[in-house]
A and B are shown apart, each in its own frame.
Chain A
Amino acid sequence: MNRLRKVPFWSWIWFVLGALYFVLPLYATFGFSLEMQRDKLSFLAYQRAFADPEFWKTFGYSNFVAVLTILVSALLSIPTAYWIRLRLPEARRLVEFITLLPFVIPAIILVFGLIRIYSAPVSVPFTQLVLFQPLTNSRVGTTILIVAGYTVLALPYMYRSVDTGLRTIDVATLTEAAQSLGANWSTIMLRVIFPNLRSALLSGALLTFAIVVGEVTLASFLGVPAFGPYLFLLGQHRAYEPAALSFASFILTWIAMGLIQLFTGGQGQAAGAH
């Protein structure tokens, strides 16, 4: 019995080792970011970084894209998962297969394919009729592409969390009850289904936010003015400001994950962020 209840010496060793791995890079980054002024610790690097209008422009753009991504992936996931549960169970396997695909198609491959398809004019199949000009040539076009790309990356997580959320409520009964009280479809979606999915959606949204705001792969290949590429370029010719912004984005990720923990008690991890 004693052998099982001894002081967990090795457990402490592993924990301390893991904690050091976590903390040392952050400590080093934070420490470095304070050393901008000679012989004196200061937040000058942070002041300089946040004073750059380019920072606010790219950070704002990334937040805008993140919000759009969250909206689009929620609008795609909720009605689809709901409809499959209610009326179309035979589509379940196909839809689940599609939501698994982003796990085998890394971000770099996805953007490769998107660029090859949408750098040419899109025409009606088998005709010469041009629907619209290459999406990669305009700001609106690249924004559409990047929101679509991020939605693809967020889809496995968003769809699964919505579907799991729907499993815990009796969709059919709720729908019938609402219908018999005279509710139409939009009322059912907005006032019955949506409120039941709030925590599933919130964690999906925060995770999407954490990943989209600093994303580099899609953003740099599509050439959008996002925060990730900005930080990368800043790192090419500055030393202290990028460290400050790196530390700040770690804090931001932490806030997003902390909120997920707070709201759901669960954990999330999405594909394609690395």
Chain B
Amino acid sequence: MAQNTFSSNARRWLGVLPFFLFAILFLILPSTRLFIGSFTNSQGRFTFDNILQLFQQANILSAYWLSIRISAVTALGGGILGFLLAYSVTIGGLPNSLRSILITFSGVASNFAGVPLAFAFVATLGRTGFITALLKGFGINIYDAGFNLYSFAGLSLTYMYFQFPLMVLIMAPALDGLRKEWREAAQNLGATYSQYWMRVAMPILLPSILGAMILLFGNAFGAYATAYALTGGTLPIVTIQIGAQIRGDVLHNPGLGYAMAIGMVFIMTISLIGYSLLQKRTEKWLK
């Protein structure tokens, strides 16, 4: 009998074997390799040294700091613009046809990244770009004023192109979830529109806004292709540094390269946990 349940159990798990086999071979094994590598020294022994080095080497710290700043700035900027856009087409009173245009466009733009996006921004804000030339016509030279597309500001503006559409896609359903009854109830109790927003709508929306911004943060933090195509690897964000480490051991310590990668996974994990916690709070009010 025991034999029987065992074999039927094994048969049941056999059905998901291909999935687990694939996941182990191409997801678990590679990430475990990086994880183990980050705790291994050049003699192949266990060490915490690589992890400690992350916090001691100035160039690594500054790479993380630059990545965090770019991700935070574009999450905040993209989050605000995306929220206002989602607001304008959901409850902001714009015609319904604009809504479907915006949603379709957001779907395209949030998936438009990498080399084509970088080229598009060179054609727009590069030294001879469209807007650069346009502003020159008005007597404003943005490059003389200190702007550079291949820098922090330029990369942030480029990232914004896929950041705020993602915010639109996340926030539009959440704003739809605001019930008309809540606003009417507030009005009947004598609340002004701004009071309604500050005391009713915002507290309900805030977890979902913050959660979406955290998602945007992770979205920018893991980005490599756009930055590489735009700056050619001159702006030392974490992903660019890891890319250089893959091509050749630029850190002169393979273990340190693995530790950098694991550090990224760690930050991404924290942001995903933050997102899912906020998501749970959101679901209390908004379905």
Instruction: Find A108's partner among B19, B94, B239 (CB 8 Å cutoff).
Output: B239
Which bracket fits the contact residues of B?
A: 35 or more
> Chain A residues with Cβ under 8 A from B107's Cβ?
257, 260-261, 267-269
Stretch from B48-56, B260-268, B279-287 forming part of the interface with A:
B260-268
Question: Which one of B31-39, B57-65, B136-144, B203-211 is at the interface?
Answer: B31-39
B135 interfacial by beta-carbon distance below 8 Å: no
Q: Tell me, yes or no, whether A56 is within 8 Å of chain B by CB.
A: no
**Pick from A29, A101, A273: contact of B119, CB under 8 Å:** A29
A107 near B224 with CB under 8 A, answer yes
Q: Could you tell me if A257 and B18 are in contact, using CB atoms closer than 8 angstroms?
A: no
Contacts of A149 in B (CB 8 A): 26
Q: Chain B, 1-20, contact with A by CB distance < 8 Å: what is the 0/1 string?
A: 00000000000110110111
A-B contact pairs, 13 of them (CB 8 A): A22-B105, A22-B109, A88-B12, A88-B15, A98-B19, A113-B31, A151-B22, A232-B115, A253-B108, A261-B103, A267-B107, A273-B114, A274-B162
Q: Is the CB of B110 within 8 A of A269?
A: yes
Count of inter-chain pairs, beta carbons less than 8 A: 267
Q: Chain B residues in contact with chain A, CB under 8 A?
A: 12-13, 15-16, 18-20, 22-23, 25-27, 29-31, 33-34, 37, 81, 84-85, 87-89, 92-94, 98, 102-121, 123-124, 129-131, 159-162, 164-166, 168-169, 183, 187, 192-193, 218-226, 228-229, 239, 242-243, 245-247, 257, 261, 264-265, 268-269, 272
- The chain A residues found within 8 Å of chain B, CB to CB, are 1, 3-5, 7-8, 10-12, 14-15, 17-18, 21-22, 24-29, 31-32, 75-76, 79-80, 83-84, 87-88, 91, 95, 98, 100-117, 148-149, 151-152, 207, 210-211, 214-217, 221, 228, 231-232, 235, 242-243, 245-247, 249-250, 253-254, 257-258, 260-261, 267-274
Give chain A residues whose Cβ lies under 8 Å from the Cβ of B117.
25, 246
**Nearest Cβ distance between residue B69 and chain A, in whole angstroms?**
17
